Amino acid sequence: AQSVTQLGSHVSVSEGALVLLRCNYSSSVPPYLFWYVQYPNQGLQLLLKYTSAATLVKGINGFEAEFKKSETSFHLTKPSAHMSDAAEYFCAVSPSGGGYQKVTFGIGTKLQVIP
């Protein structure tokens, strides 16, 4: 069975500081991995995804994530936080095998950006 663990339900950073949101996965086969962002009163929006190509994935709004198989991690980073990055972030995993594959979401991490 697949699962994701997001460490830290709330993360606070100062404006201009590094953003690091942690995600570890558990999957019986190499997975596909996703990061989504949710702004208040909106649905989720895809930030980036890993599908077994380059291990460093660049997404929208200056975010990137690195797939580390040895650590079973897919942490999300951004060099310099902006006030507009305040939102909730979800890591998700889906097995990469053939046929139907269910997507499993983490519990989410709320990012607060302090001016």
Partner 1 sequence: KAGVTQTPRYLIKTRGQQVTLSCSPISGHRSVSWYQQTPGQGLQFLFEYFSETQRNKGNFPGRFSGRQFSNSRSEMNVSTLELGDSALYLCASSLEDRGREQYFGPGTRLTVT
What is the contact surface with partner 1 in residues (CB under 8 A)?
A: 32, 34, 36, 41-46, 49, 51, 90, 94, 96, 98, 100-108
Residue 21: CB atoms within 10 A of its CB come to 25
- Give dist(CA 101, CA 97) in Å, integer: 8
Smaller CB separation from partner 1, 39 or 79: 39
- Give dist(CA 48, CA 33) in Å, integer: 9
Residue from 65, 28, 30 nearest 46 by CA: 65
Closest distance of CB 26 from partner 1, Å: 17
Closest distance of CB 32 from partner 1, Å: 4
Smaller CB separation from partner 1, 17 or 86: 86
